Structure formats: C-alpha cells, structure tokens
Amino acid sequence: MVNYQNKKEHAQKVSKLIDQIGMADELEKLKTRIERMDSKAHAKELSDRIESIGKHSFMCQADVGDLEQVNRMRDLVVKQFGKVDILVNNAGIVRDKSFVKMTHDMWNEVLSVNLDGTFFCTKAFIEGMVERKYGRIVNISSVIGRMGNFGQANYTASKAGIIGLTKALAKEFAGKGITVNAVAPGFIETDMVKGVSGEVMEKILAQIPLRRLGRASEVAGTVAYLASRDGDYITGQVIDINGGLYI
C-alpha cells in the first residue's frame, strides 16, 4: 500500500517509483517476491529493498476476506502513515473447475478473497476519505469478469461483481471528492502465464489482436494515472488492458 501526502505529486511519485525499481522487470521481481513471501524475514527483505530506493514502505499481512483482520490492518497502516488517500484492491485467487465439479468451498474461497475482500478493504478506508473529502480507489477486476471463461464461474462472478461494486460506489461517493474505478487486465506477463506450454501460449496469443501479452508496467501505469490529478474527472469506469481480446 502506497500513501502520498501531497496529492499533486501522486502521478509523478508513482511513475518515479516504477522507474527507480527498474520498470517492468524489476517490478515483476518485487511482485513475485510478494507472492512468495511466507515469513516475516521475507517481508523485511522486500521492505528493505523498497527503502533502499528512497521510498518508505510498510508491510502488513491480513486475510482480506476476514473483516476483523482488515480492520486491524487499517489501524496499523493509518498509525504508520497518518492517512490513506489511495486504495488499490488487487487481492485475488483462483480455484478453477468446471461448474458441475465446482464445490461450495471453491466458490466461497474465491468470492471471499476477490469480492468480499474488495468490500471489506473499501469499507475500512472509505470513512477517512469521506472525512477529508478526497480519495482514489482502484479495483482490479479482470477481462474474465467482462467476457466469462469456461471453468471459472466463481472467478468470473467475483470479478464481474467488482465491476458492479465499482460503478455503485462511484455514484455514491462522487459528491464527496472520491473517485472509484476498475482496471480489467487481460493476459499479463506473470510467472503463472509464462509457465504455460508453447502450444497453449500460441492459442492465447492468437486470440489477442495485438499478438502479445501485456506488461506489468502497463497495468501499474494505468493505476497510477487513475490515482493522479490527470484522472480527477474519471470515475465509475472500467479500463480494459487486454490487447483487444475483449472489445
């Protein structure tokens, strides 16, 4: 979670952060480290790396599907930074299975993290934004939430739900200086996607008019724009980053 006290410098600081980390390759390394963190030692290592490029960081672990843990995380973050102006809801998991074979637990696990997590985190931080009459919320949906996909009924429902929640909150909080938008990435260069076979990758690329995967920096740049002054007049929108896969 990144907090900027000077709202005019949002876009510049996020852009500089991406540049200083080393653009997409280094950002992807940090993302991978976050995904693989399984101890406080790993979290500390990543935090130190961010600090080494002149940025302040604070690591706080929480199950976003648990309201009590989310509220505890909020209290710790606010104590550290004083306030939070930008909230990016990007926690997400998959439990893929054909609908006939999908269990109730598989459905609940995905909805709990992806959709409930977005609700709980927004609920936890929105009050402070309302008090200050300023806030930027960016929810990470998915192209799957736009078009659906075989074997991903739970994931599709959760990501489509995020889009609906985004639009409702945008209308509710626009008059309070808070914008709420969603970003819906397609196939992005991640370890998971890079791990698919060559044959499967060829089929994926054949469906994408731009004939390539998206880059992590392209998603990060879009989020940074929506959180910046340049994005002040944008709310309730879904920004698709999918190379033309869904139009």
Residue 193 has pLDDT above 90, yes or no: no
pLDDT value at residue 64: 96
Predicted local distance difference test score (pLDDT) of residue 200: 87
pLDDT-derived band at 53, boundaries 50, 70, 90: confident
In the structure, what pLDDT confidence band is assigned to residue 39 with cuts at 50, 70 and 90? low
Return the C-alpha torsion angle 4, 223, 183, 21, nearest 10. -110
pLDDT of 16 > 60? The answer is no
Of 21 and 233, the one with more pLDDT: 233
Closest CA to 90 of 213, 245, 216: 216
Q: Where are the domains of the chain?
A: 7-241
Residue 191 in tokens? 């370890």
Active site residues: 155
pLDDT at residue 90, rounded to an integer: 92
Q: Tokens at residue 17, please? A: 């952060």
Check pLDDT > 50 for residue 20: no
Report the predicted TM-score, pTM, of the whole model to 2 decimal places: 0.81
State residue 7's pLDDT score. Answer: 44
The reported pLDDT for the residue numbered 17 is 47
Mean per-residue pLDDT of the chain: 86
* Domain 7-241 in this protein, CATH class: alpha beta
8 pLDDT more than 50: no
Reported as a single tens digit per residue, the pLDDT across 129-139 is 999 999 999 99
Q: For residues 30-48, give the mean pLDDT.
A: 63
The helix (H) or strand (E) run that includes residue 107 is helix 104-111
- Distance between CA atoms of residues 69 and 116, nearest Å: 13
Q: What is the average per-residue pLDDT within 221-241? A: 96
